[in-house]
């Protein structure tokens, strides 16, 4: 295992110039570099914290470092994306790091969706980079509006709807090779039926990357605590997207979201409606809400030591009540 900082230094040396365009050109291969998923996730969030501080101050940030981080994720074993996806489900969306965490979540899940769409490595890096920077303009929105509890006023919504332009302006500072990136992120809130903003684009006028980021933005916001609305469980959020997003996003993008993002991925910890706790050991493609659970504690709160599993597809009265982190599992009962 190597440190993330060492990987980034090696990536910078391989890239050679200050703004190597790995996002749309041929991706730079980082062979035999394995970094823990925790380090990668923390690295993305910490980087976006720094970016946010710079944007608020009106200062430039190291944009290439963001592409390098995405490059490292794409060049690691594919299995690491499953581990990273679990972390995106567990992030708490706290006010302090909400924008940085949201950006990290979207970049990871965008790479997963890009892989599901058959994107080659270079396009996965481009999509992941666009997702990482999609909300830079939100750092210019006053915290009093961004963190407001309850419904926003029309004037406050007007401020929010300006943030795609602010994101675009921020990225245009970095030269012509990043103009494509500015164009993509400016379209994140555009919708296929023309109801989006800031330009009211329709159908093929909207870049596919923007549609992917837009639907992921909707999903990630639903499953994490938000100032205006409460948190939804992943399956509830998926159902809401199916019901409300028809006509807003291309059909193949909605299908890709449903097929690629596991609602309850293997190794995730869950609590059932009878208060038993366990770990997902097998998913069910026919019944995605009904995986097989290896019990850790039973309904009476007693530790299970016999390796007992429960196939929720065969137990119609049981269902998952919540996704929990390993830290939330009682150590001694």
pLDDT for 173 equals 94
Residue 236, pLDDT score: 84
pLDDT(151) > 60? yes
Supply the pLDDT for residue 161. 94
Alpha-carbon distance of 281 to 29, in angstroms, equals 33
Residue 61 is predicted with a pLDDT of 96
Confidence of residue 230 (pLDDT cuts 50, 70, 90): low
Quick one: pLDDT at residue 258?
86
Q: What is the mean pLDDT of residues 224-245?
A: 78
Strand stretches in 83-236, DSSP E: none
309-311/277-282 β-pairing: unpaired
Which string of b and e fits 265-304 if b means at least 16 CB within 10 Å? Answer: beebbbbbeeebbbbbeebeeeebbbbbbebbbbeeeeeb
Dist CA 5 CA 96 (whole Å): 24
What are the tokens at 15? 């890239």
pLDDT reported for residue 226: 59
Q: What is the CATH topology of the domain spanning 4-260? A: Hypothetical protein af1432 (1.10.3210)
Query: pLDDT per residue over 1-56, tens digit each?
Result: 445 555 455 445 444 433 333 333 333 444 445 678 899 999 999 999 999 999 99
What backbone torsions phi and psi does residue 303 show, to the nearest 5 degrees? Answer: -65, 135
Confidence check: pLDDT of 117 > 50: yes
pLDDT of residue 15: 43
Residue 241: which of 253, 230, 229, 226 has the closest Cα? 253
> What pLDDT does residue 14 have?
44
Gap between the Cα atoms of 264 and 289, Å rounded = 7
Tell me: the pLDDT tens digits for 123-139? 999 999 999 999 999 99
pLDDT tens digits, 160-210: 999 999 999 999 999 999 999 999 999 999 999 999 999 999 999 999 999
Q: How far apart are CA 122 and CA 308, in angstroms?
A: 44
Domain with CATH 1.10.3210.10 in the chain: 4-260
73 in Cβ contact with 35 (< 8 Å):
no
User: What average pLDDT does the chain have?
Assistant: 86
| 261-270, 276-285, 287-296: segment of lowest average pLDDT | 261-270
**pLDDT tens digits for range 51-81:** 999 999 999 999 999 999 999 999 888 888 9
Asked, as a colleague might, if the bond just before 198 is cis with ω within 30 of 0, I would say yes
**β partners of residue 279:** 269, 294
Residue 93: per-residue pLDDT: 55
**Residue 18 CA, distance from chain mean position:** 27
Q: What is the pLDDT of residue 94?
A: 56
Q: Which of 94, 116, 117, 112 is nearest to 45 (CA)?
A: 94
């Amino acid at each position: 295992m190597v440190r993330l900082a060492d990987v980034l230094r090696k990536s910078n040396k391989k890239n050679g110039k200050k703004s190597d365009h790995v996002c749309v050109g041929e991706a730079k291969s980082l062979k035999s570099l394995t970094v823990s998923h925790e380090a990668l996730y923390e690295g993305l969030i910490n980087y976006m914290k720094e970016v946010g501080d710079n944007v608020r101050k009106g200062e430039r940030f190291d944009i290439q470092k963001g592409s390098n981080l995405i490059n490292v994720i794409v060049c690691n074993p594919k299995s690491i994306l499953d581990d990273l996806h679990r972390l995106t489900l567990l992030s708490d969306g706290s006010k302090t790091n909400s924008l940085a965490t949201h950006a990290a979540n979207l970049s990871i899940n965008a790479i997963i969706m890009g892989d599901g769409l058959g994107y080659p490595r270079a396009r996965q890096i481009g999509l992941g980079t666009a997702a990482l920077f999609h909300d830079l303009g939100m750092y210019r929105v006053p915290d009093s509006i961004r963190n407001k509890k309850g419904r926003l006023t029309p004037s406050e919504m007007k401020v929010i709807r300006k943030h795609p332009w602010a994101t675009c302006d921020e990225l245009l500072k970095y030269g012509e090779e990043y103009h494509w990136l500015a164009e993509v992120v400016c379209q994140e809130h555009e919708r296929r039926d023309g109801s989006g903003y800031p330009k009211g684009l329709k159908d093929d006028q909207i870049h596919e990357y923007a549609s992917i980021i837009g639907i992921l933005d909707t999903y990630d916001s639903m499953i994490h605590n938000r100032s205006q609305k409460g948190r939804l469980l992943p399956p509830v959020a998926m159902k809401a997207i199916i019901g409300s997003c028809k006509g807003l996003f291309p059909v193949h993008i909605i299908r890709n979201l449903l097929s690629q993002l596991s609602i309850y991925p293997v190794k995730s910890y869950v609590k059932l409606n009878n208060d038993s706790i366990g770990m997902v050991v097998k998913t069910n493609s026919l019944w995605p809400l009904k995986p097989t659970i290896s019990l850790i504690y039973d309904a009476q709160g007693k530790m299970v030591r016999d390796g007992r599993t429960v196939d929720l597809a065969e137990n119609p009265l049981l269902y998952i009540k919540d996704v929990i982190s390993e830290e939330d599992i009682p150590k001694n009962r």
